[in-house]
Amino acid sequence: MLVNHEPHMIARSADWKNALANAVRDPAELLALLDLPDNLLAGATEAAKAFPLRVPRGFVARMARGNPADPLLRQVLPLGEEMLPVAGFGPDPVGDLAAQAGAGLLHKYHGRVLMTATGACAVHCRYCFRRHFPYGEQRPGRDDWQGVVDYLQAHPEVDELILSGGDPLMLDDQQLHALSQRLRELPQLKRLRLHSRLPIVLPERIDSGLLAWLAGLPWPVVMVVHCNHPQELDETVAAALAQLHRLGLTLLNQSVLLAGVNDDAETLIRLSHRLFDCKVLPYYLHQLDRVKGAAHFELAESQLALLTETLRARLPGYLLPRLVRELPGDVGKRPYSG
């Protein structure tokens, strides 16, 4: 193992910024670190021009060497196939551009508004439905979060704000503090939700400063992490999640169903069990959004029905993720009905 953090050590703020700055961005370096053949390089370089490679070293350390089919590697390695056009796969599969309610705000569902707090992520997931999203124009923090305050004041029925992205924990502690100070002006808020992949891909982010910020929030906090495979949940991640659990946060997980990563029942069952060990309950298992460049991750319809049945037969209800799909114009995520 390349990483060997003390499980109970809480990192300092410089640590996560260093880990982020040191993320692997060069396909040739990633292949070399994992003893993978050069014949993957041409495709990786080409696909990385459209959506760059980015992966923290701690996440790379959880991959097996010499295995081009490693389920963690597959999530981040650019492939030549991404460049092939596939019918039905477009740049904005869930209709986000049409649902924008203001700078960085998406108001699609009753009572909750999702804010793309920043476009940045610590990892670039090849299947990401926001890979073509024009985040450059999305900086809701630019005006001291005035846009979100105005919007929520005009919509008092919204009682939950979802901080998403990109990844909201890419904001530093100071920015998070500035945001939560503004949100205190909104008496309607009953819950604050964060959707973040950082506890999984960059557990250094769960440091003393972030824990202090979370502990000081006046609302119940729901954190939805994003993990697709049990191999992602090593001891460093388990320790970070335990810190969050100790604060009393509600911890949930969302996964994306991905061919070649987690498209078999045994893996998904192990994932649910391992999440539970880490104090996290499975929430959503998303069907792939049909985003351009991600067609090779799609499962056949017949496989979905079989998987759903097997999971239902094997898992207790509270460890069974809801298999859902997001469709443009829908009132909520749509449960799969085979």
Does 333 interact with ligand PLP (rule: CB under 6 A)? Answer: yes
Report what 274 binds from ligand SF4, ligand PLP, none; CB cut-off 5-8 Å by kind: none
Closest CA to 147 of 176, 121, 173, 116: 116
CA distance 234 to 295: 29
Stretch that binds ligand PLP, among 108-116, 151-159, 225-233, 263-271 (CB under 6 A): 108-116
Q: How far is CA 101 from CA 13, 109, 140, 151, 275, in A?
A: 33, 12, 12, 8, 34
Q: How far is the CB of 293 from ligand PLP (least distance, A)?
A: 20
Report what 70 binds from ligand SF4, ligand PLP, none; CB cut-off 5-8 Å by kind: none
Structure token pair of residue 120: 């940045």
Stretch that binds ligand PLP, among 40-48, 109-117, 131-139, 180-188 (CB under 6 A): 109-117
Residue 166, preceding bond cis, omega within 30 degrees?
Answer: yes
Contact 288, 257 (CB under 8 A): yes
Closest CA to 237 of 55, 14, 59, 53: 59
Contact 75, 228 (CB under 8 A): yes
What amino acid is encoded at 289 in this protein?
Answer: D
Give the strand pairing for 250-256 and 221-226.
parallel
Could you say which of 101, 114, 176, 291 contacts ligand PLP (CB under 6 A)?
114
Does 167 interact with ligand SF4 (rule: CB under 6 A)? Answer: yes
Could you say which of 62, 107, 108, 197 contacts ligand SF4 (CB under 6 A)?
197
Q: How far is the CB of 54 from ligand SF4 (least distance, A)?
A: 8
Does 292 interact with ligand SF4 (rule: CB under 6 A)? Answer: no
Does 229 interact with ligand SF4 (rule: CB under 6 A)? Answer: no
Q: How far is the CB of 111 from ligand PLP (least distance, A)?
A: 9
Does 166 interact with ligand SF4 (rule: CB under 6 A)? Answer: yes
Contact 250, 280 (CB under 8 A): no
Q: How far is the CB of 283 from ligand PLP (least distance, A)?
A: 7
CA distance 31 to 36: 5
Q: How far is the CB of 120 from ligand PLP (least distance, A)?
A: 19
Q: How far is the CB of 304 from ligand SF4 (least distance, A)?
A: 20
The helix (H) or strand (E) run that includes residue 251 is strand 250-256
Contact 201, 123 (CB under 8 A): yes
Does 112 interact with ligand PLP (rule: CB under 6 A)? Answer: yes
Phi, psi of 79 (to 5 degrees): -125, 145
Any bridge partners for residue 160, and if so which? 112, 191
Does 62 interact with ligand PLP (rule: CB under 6 A)? Answer: no
Does 162 interact with ligand PLP (rule: CB under 6 A)? Answer: yes
Contact 145, 305 (CB under 8 A): no
Does 106 interact with ligand PLP (rule: CB under 6 A)? Answer: yes
The helix (H) or strand (E) run that includes residue 328 is none
Report what 106 binds from ligand SF4, ligand PLP, none; CB cut-off 5-8 Å by kind: ligand PLP
Contact 93, 290 (CB under 8 A): yes
Site for ligand SF4 in 70-129 (CB under 6 A): 121, 123-125, 128
Report what 114 binds from ligand SF4, ligand PLP, none; CB cut-off 5-8 Å by kind: ligand PLP
Question: Under the rule (CB under 6 A), what is the footprint of ligand PLP?
Answer: 106, 108-109, 112, 114, 162, 326, 332-333
Question: Under the rule (CB under 6 A), what is the footprint of ligand SF4?
Answer: 121, 123-125, 128, 130, 165-167, 197, 226
